[in-house]
Amino acid sequence: MALRSPSAAQIRNALQVGFAGFLAGGLFLFAGTDATRVDAFYLAYGVARSLLPTPEASLKAARARVIGTVFGGFVVVLLLQSVSNWLAVGIGYVLIKLVGRRLGFDQATLTNAVIMAVLLVAVPDYQAMGGLYVLYRSLWHLAGLMIGMAIERLFWFTPLLKRLQHSESDLIQRLDDLLGEGPAQRHQELIKAYAAHCTLRTLVLSSDQAHKLTTPDSQERQEWLERAVRHGVALQRVPKELEAIDSEGCGEALHQLKSCGGSA
């Protein structure tokens, strides 16, 4: 099987992770003998979790990690004052789920909270530290997350609208390739790419650049893109006798899209 060359996004992400990891290692060494290997793990893990494929995913993961750790630790530390070890985990699990959902925490946050609760009881050294362990773990995580997210925003950062335009260009290229090469069973990839594009569009619409997508030209672009994608997906699913209909429809939609003004 031939090796595929890494994409520009993969190269960029590797450089981000490498540089952020280098800075995190420097911070750990600067902390001296007071820092442990476990602290180094939390720091490095924070860096890794902060450099996901998109800034939005990174921020969501960072929020879930820190809030979940603090929330789960707070619940179990309080319970350990009055009940035995594993009973605290059982009661804590129920409280974390009930209270967390009432507070509107997502599943990732609740999972991090439960992990924190189990670790506090399962590892005697952590239990002995109690609230201090929760504090140290949260701070090291936060340090790693901040390093990673700072690198992500300071270097190779692509604004939302530009990412949306790149996403549209990628979809157009996929559809052009589909029409040029003939139907291939890649409709799931096309659907996922369009779903990601729609997610980006929603983010732009909720930002200060929303006005660029609400013009008649921009809305027309989106309509033609959606029509082209629908035909592109159908082209790979319909019987061979009907392929010409969707091929023509996809080609016409792409032609209209490329002649439209406005922003993606």
Return the axis-axis angle of helices 85-102 and 55-79, rounded to nearest 10°.
Answer: 130
3-class secondary-structure state, position 54: coil
Which of 53, 234, 55, 256 lies closest to 172 in space, CA to CA?
A: 256
Which of 20, 72, 14 lies closest to 43 in space, CA to CA?
A: 20
* pTM metric for this prediction: 0.64
Tell me the pLDDT of the chain (264 aa) as tens digits. Answer: 456 677 666 777 777 778 788 888 887 777 766 667 777 777 887 887 777 777 777 888 888 888 998 999 888 888 888 877 778 778 888 889 999 999 999 999 999 899 888 888 777 777 778 788 888 888 888 888 888 888 877 776 778 888 888 889 999 999 988 888 766 667 888 888 899 899 888 888 888 888 888 888 888 899 999 999 999 888 888 888 888 888 899 899 988 888 876 666
- Give the start-to-end residue ranges of the domains of the chain: 9-154, 160-258
Angstrom distance (rounded) from CA 125 to CA 13: 36
CA-CA distances (angstroms) from residue 37 to 70, 84, 110, 113, 254?
21, 29, 26, 22, 55
Q: How many CB atoms lie within 10 A of CB 125?
A: 8
